[in-house]
């Protein structure tokens, strides 16, 4: 049996993710090797993702390695994946999802976003999180914060901000859960498509039998159904890192319920819908929700975002 080469970014969190996938493969009899790759998003740390290209900033270099055959599969945070992949690439598996919530991390356990009397500065470079903070907590100031999780926590410790808003999954996986001071309700801070799970990407030259075996080993069907709906919504809105779009699907027996929407950059206009369909029609559900949001004012919001000064 051949050794599977797994492509990954170099950050501690990315390597945790790659090792998790490698362990799943090893438990099924495969030998594995992790190949680390530095992406454009990793190299440029002081610029918002939206300003350095948005689509594929964490994937292009890894995809080049896949296309060259230097690696057999790539492990990504599913939320980093653009709604449309380059020709020849596909996502063949999604691992079981972690809790999806955004959380507030701070050295000060007494911090609360609901405290309107105490000035609070939160670090984040996510356009979705900034817009939602403006909508639900307009008294809070934000400051741009790029870098891996450890870098951001170091910046916060040095006084760059009072707290960080991060995905629970990454905080837990890097053993910083003790620093969580507030868990933001997923009903308000609805996560981006894919938050909390890993996506496995391959190139079309992979042998069909190998592709099927990797999928059988790694794919969590319920998570895949949820991500199918979320990513179809994202694709319908042509969303990326520069668009404050959100989507969360949950499987309920044979049904799947999707809550998704879009918010203006200033947080003033929030569009949200919840729809349900059979799991067999997850993609149709995401597309339907996307068209509903576009018709309900989303086209106008997207136009304003695209014309906003950079």
User: What is the architecture, at CATH level 2, of domain 220-310?
Assistant: 2-Layer Sandwich (3.30)
Residue 253 phi, psi (nearest 5): 65, -125
CATH number 3.40.190.10 is the correct assignment for the domain at 1-95+197-219: yes
Q: What pLDDT is attached to residue 146?
A: 82
For the chain, report the end-to-end CA distance as a whole number of angstroms: 51
CATH 3.40.190.10 residue window(s) in the chain? 1-95+197-219, 102-183
CA angle 284, 49, 273 (to 5 degrees): 30
Strands of 255-263's sheet, edge to edge?
245-252, 255-263, 270-278
Predicted TM-score of the model (pTM): 0.92
pLDDT digits (tens, 9 = 90+) for 205-228: 999 999 999 999 999 999 999 999
User: Could you give the residue numbers annotated as active site?
Assistant: 80
DSSP string, 14-35: HHHHHHHHHHHHHTTT-EEEEE
CATH class of 102-183: alpha beta
How does strand 255-263 pair with strand 270-278?
A: antiparallel
- Dist. CA 99–CA 87, nearest whole Å: 32
Residue-averaged pLDDT of the chain: 92
Averaged over successive runs of 10 residues, the pLDDT of the chain (310 residues) comes to 90 96 97 89 54 63 94 95 93 97 96 90 95 96 92 96 97 97 96 97 97 97 98 90 92 97 97 98 98 97 86
């Amino acid at each position: 049996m051949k050794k599977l080469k797994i492509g990954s970014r170099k950050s501690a969190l990315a390597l945790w993710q790659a090792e998790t996938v490698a362990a799943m493969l090893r438990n099924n009899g495969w030998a594995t090797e992790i190949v680390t790759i530095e992406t454009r998003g990793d190299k440029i740390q002081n610029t918002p993702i939206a300003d350095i290209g948005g689509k594929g900033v964490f994937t292009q270099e890894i995809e080049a390695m896949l296309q060259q055959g230097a690696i057999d599969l790539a492990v990504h945070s599913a939320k980093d994946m653009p709604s449309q992949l380059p020709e020849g690439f596909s996502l063949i598996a999604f691992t079981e999802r972690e809790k999806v919530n955004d959380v507030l991390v701070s050295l000060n356990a007494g911090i609360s976003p609901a405290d309107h009397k105490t000035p609070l500065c939160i670090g984040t470079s996510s356009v979705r999180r900034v817009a939602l903070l403006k909508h639900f907590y307009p008294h809070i100031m934000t400051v741009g914060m790029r870098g891996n999780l450890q870098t951001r926590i170091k910046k916060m410790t040095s006084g760059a901000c009072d707290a960080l808003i991060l995905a629970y999954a990454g905080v837990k996986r890097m053993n910083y859960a003790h620093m969580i001071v507030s868990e933001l309700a997923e009903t308000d801070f609805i996560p981006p498509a894919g938050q909390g799970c890993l996506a496995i990407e391959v190139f079309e030259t992979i042998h069909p039998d190998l592709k099927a075996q990797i999928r059988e080993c790694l794919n969590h069907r319920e998570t895949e159904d949820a991500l199918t709906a979320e990513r179809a919504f994202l694709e319908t809105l042509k969303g990326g890192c520069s668009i404050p779009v959100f989507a969360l699907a949950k499987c309920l027996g044979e049904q799947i319920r999707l809550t998704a929407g879009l918010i203006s950059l200033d947080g003033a206009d929030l569009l949200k819908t919840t729809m349900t369909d059979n799991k067999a029609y997850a993609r149709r559900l995401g597309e339907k929700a996307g068209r509903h949001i576009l018709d309900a004012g989303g086209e106008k919001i997207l136009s304003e975002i695209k014309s906003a000064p950079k």
